[in-house]
Structure 1
Amino acid sequence: MDYILKEILEEPEAVKASIQEGKASYRKVAERLLASGCDRIYAVGCGSSYFTGILARYALERFAKIPTIPATAVDFYTYSLDTVDRKSAVIAISQSGESFETIDAARKAKGRSGLTIGLTNNAESRLAGISDEVLLTAAGPERASGTKTVLTQMLAAYQFALAVAQVKGTSYPRGELDRLVGELDRAVRIIQELQERLDEIKKLAGILKDVTNLYMVGAGPFFPLALQITNTAREIAQVHAYAFEVVEFRHGPLEIIRPGSTIVIINNSGCPLSDELARLAALGKRAGASLVVATDVADKGLVALADHLFPVPATSEILGAIAYLAPFHLVLYHWAVAKGLNPNEFRNIVKTWTEKAS
């Protein structure tokens, strides 16, 4: 059975169910977080869950004004544990709730931190069991490479940040917060509409088919989105894929761009760094790169420079940095199939590392 395609196509329903779960339970967790006197948050995980932690930082710092430190689970408990105190909260992120490094991080933080929160898709997991509070997603079972669980996990981090800001009440304009919370209900339809553009998705997969080194660039919350996409590209399309923050791409990586290189930029007009992306795009084209751009039509600087444009609907910045993952899951799937690969199979990794590799 083609599990990964089935699970990608389940993303709209998974998002719908997860938003409802968040509406029912995240505010209570937000209230407890603020009652703990928390003045900083550690967001820890492995792989795609670590990238979700980076997105959580953008959302929590922007809307709730709480300093947030993303870290890999191993780095956190090896190097950062001594900085954790009763004014710290730890959000341990694992879709399965069984990743052993993330469980170790949560276990070692418990008793030091004021609050340990598990963000997981599995209410019966070990992570849920040891956490003080749980942010549950409702993606359902997943067998192949992380797709619907990653998307709902990112959405949960954003939805929780909005809930914290609403409870706090003073960190962000109330009217704008209410608008962003209301916009969450558009996410399902946005993802459905993006997935329905199958001809454009297959065309983009065809453009990328013979690419051997993929460079993907994002700014702000679109950087963790680029990390998620390139990670899945390595897993299922088996391509060398690298994600960069926009300004950092100029500090070294730009030097290896040659005629025939491909740069993918993902963005929307809500991003305050759109001009930086347009400047980088111009530099990349000058070096001979082909430029693939996914953004909305109001992002005129990038649209004008694109060799290949995949237009996306305009949304607020962070919702776009989540919802635009859905069509790229299909792009990567069709890219893998076009290369003659089976995107359901791993060669060297497992879906969840539940014990140390040996």
Structure 2
Amino acid sequence: MTNASLLTPLLGDQSPLDLRSRALVTDLFEREQQLMAALPTDDPLDPKRRRRVDFTLPEILEQPEVIRTTLQRERENIAAAAQNIAAAGIRRIFMTGCGDSLAVMVAVRSLFEELLGIPCEPVQALDMAYYYHHTLGPDTLMITLSSSGTTTRTVEAMMIAKAKGAHTLALSNTPGSALMAESDHRLTVHAQRKGWPTQASTAAIALLCQLALDIAKAKGSNGERVEALQAALDAIPAQIAEVIASHEAVIAAIAEREAARSVYLYAAGGPSFAAAMFGSAKVKECSPDHGISIPLEEFHHYNSQKAGDPLFLIAPEGPSVPRARDTAQEGRRWGGQIYSLVTGDETRLDDCSDVVLRLPAVPEVLSALVYTIPVQLFAYHVAMAKFRAAESVHAA
């Protein structure tokens, strides 16, 4: 029999978890192993991967309505959680998840810190559970996200937070899941995940943005700013629909041009780095190739882009735009292709980009909701181009 402590240190002798919690974690590990065995492969014609890619485009297109529906259905739950959190004396927030769930937390960090005036730190769930839990306590809020509600490391992070007396709030597409059942507060993401995750992530971002706004309202702080951001959040679904309608054909053409590549790069700063994380994740999920997200400054340390590499440079209006221009110039000098996502009539990246996609104006703290859409569409279209190429070779 395998020693339980070899699965996770939280099952070892020094674990702060009680016996019931340890049993739950053990069960989640066993389920996780079964799910991993069923994942698609990198075979260019893998039918399981193709099936999920086929589901992905409809789920991308549904995002405006999914965001509206999620916010409407969770309206009372968001307000109730916000009231409790506002009254709890929270002095620090940790935000944790894995993969897209962690990117969601990166997307909302800046908004939470601006409105609440306290440190809000996104941490990968394994690191949170095993390394960075020592300062958790009654003045801490742990926000967790897992679409299935059974991601083992995320549940572990939430449970160690509870064991240390922290407040917990869970988001999941799956009511009644382990994450939701064990948390103090819970918000349901009313989204599908038959395809590779898209709407599940943007709807979760919207939920957390509304939560931050409601906590600020409950505290009576930043009144005019909260009002402006509420109007901007309410406008996001229509802006997403506009981006899809205006840019999908151009993005599909870029995908055809870049379909033979094996590496795709994404760079951004601040909250828009979440969009870069989503972009790299979608390419890795939809295709058998590499997607790499690079923080904007780290791109320059050192020669991150090689000749021929496509770079999606995500630069909404904000303080990162000048450095984004430097990045585009360097990428060009290194021989790469530059696809820039900018706000409206922004022109500073025009002369050093192969294509500039002009997106609607949105407050930078909400930018990931809109700037994620083009990279989702690219991942779908480049995957389909790769499937067509593989089918052509197979037929020959």
**Secondary structure at the counterpart of residue 118 of structure 1:** strand
Equivalent in the alignment of 2:83: 31
Are 1:311 and 2:355 counterparts?
no
Are 1:207 and 2:257 counterparts?
yes
Are 1:142 and 2:190 counterparts?
no
Give the distance between the partners of 1:4 and 1:296, measured in 2 at CA. Answer: 26
Give the distance between the partners of 2:345 and 2:319, measured in 1 at CA. Answer: 13
Q: 1:287 to 1:201 in 2, by over 3 A?
A: closer
Q: How does 1:87-106 map to 2 (within 5 A)?
A: 87-106=139-158
User: How many angstroms does 1:54 deviate by?
Assistant: 1.9
Matched to 2:124, the amino acid is: T
Are 1:41 and 2:93 counterparts?
yes
User: How many angstroms does 1:81 deviate by?
Assistant: 2.1
Give the distance between the partners of 2:93 and 2:240, measured in 1 at CA. Answer: 30
Matched to 1:164, the amino acid is: I
Range moving further from structure 2, 231-240 or 296-305: 296-305
Give the distance between the partners of 1:80 and 1:260, measured in 2 at CA. Answer: 39
TM-score, normalised relative to structure 1: 0.88
Give the alignment partner of residue 52 of structure 1, picking from 98, 104, 110: 104
Give the distance between the partners of 1:62 and 1:71, measured in 2 at CA. Answer: 19
Q: How does 1:209-224 map to 2 (within 5 A)?
A: 209-224=259-274
Give the distance between the partners of 1:113 and 1:323, measured in 2 at CA. Answer: 36
Does the CA contact (< 8 Å) of 1:295 and 1:303 recur in 2? Answer: no
User: How many angstroms does 1:152 deviate by?
Assistant: 0.8
Q: How does 1:182-193 map to 2 (within 5 A)?
A: 182-193=231-242
Are 1:280 and 2:327 counterparts?
yes
What do the CA deviations read for 1:261-303 (whole angstroms, capped 9, x no partner)?
222101212x222111112212222222221111123322123
Q: How does 1:165-314 map to 2 (within 5 A)?
A: 165-170=216-221, 172=222, 174-197=223-246, 198-252=248-302, 255-269=303-317, 271-314=318-361
TM-score, normalised relative to structure 2: 0.80
Does the CA contact (< 8 Å) of 2:108 and 2:365 recur in 1? Answer: no
Equivalent in the alignment of 2:60: 8
Give the alignment partner of residue 334 of structure 1, picking from 381, 385, 389: 381
Q: Pairwise CA RMSD of aligned residues?
A: 1.9
Give the distance between the partners of 2:367 and 2:165, measured in 1 at CA. Answer: 32
Matched to 2:325, the amino acid is: A
Equivalent in the alignment of 1:65: 117
Give the alignment partner of residue 74 of structure 1, picking from 126, 130, 136: 126
Range moving further from structure 2, 2-11 or 223-232: 2-11
Does the CA contact (< 8 Å) of 1:119 and 1:153 recur in 2? Answer: yes
Q: 1:258 to 1:129 in 2, by over 3 A?
A: closer
What do the CA deviations read for 1:304-334 (whole angstroms, capped 9, x no partner)?
4221112211111132221222232222111
Equivalent in the alignment of 1:109: 161
User: How many angstroms does 1:341 deviate by?
Assistant: 6.7
Does the CA contact (< 8 Å) of 1:297 and 1:303 recur in 2? Answer: no
Does the CA contact (< 8 Å) of 1:93 and 1:120 recur in 2? Answer: yes
**Secondary structure at the counterpart of residue 300 of structure 1:** coil
Give the distance between the partners of 2:121 and 2:304, measured in 1 at CA. Answer: 31
Does the CA contact (< 8 Å) of 1:21 and 1:137 recur in 2? Answer: no
Does the CA contact (< 8 Å) of 1:295 and 1:311 recur in 2? Answer: yes
**Secondary structure at the counterpart of residue 349 of structure 2:** helix
**Secondary structure at the counterpart of residue 5 of structure 1:** helix
Does the CA contact (< 8 Å) of 1:46 and 1:102 recur in 2? Answer: yes
Give the distance between the partners of 1:135 and 1:287, measured in 2 at CA. Answer: 45
Does the CA contact (< 8 Å) of 1:281 and 1:291 recur in 2? Answer: yes
Give the distance between the partners of 1:304 and 1:166, measured in 2 at CA. Answer: 43
Range moving further from structure 2, 36-45 or 47-56: 47-56
Give the gaps of 5 or more residues in structure 2: 1-50, 390-396
Q: 1:325 to 1:308 in 2, by over 3 A?
A: same
What do the CA deviations read for 1:214-259 (whole angstroms, capped 9, x no partner)?
121101011121011101111102221111111111122xx25343
Larger-gyration structure (1/2):
2
Equivalent in the alignment of 1:155: 206
Give the distance between the partners of 1:327 and 1:275, measured in 2 at CA. Answer: 21
Give the distance between the partners of 1:38 and 1:341, measured in 2 at CA. Answer: 52
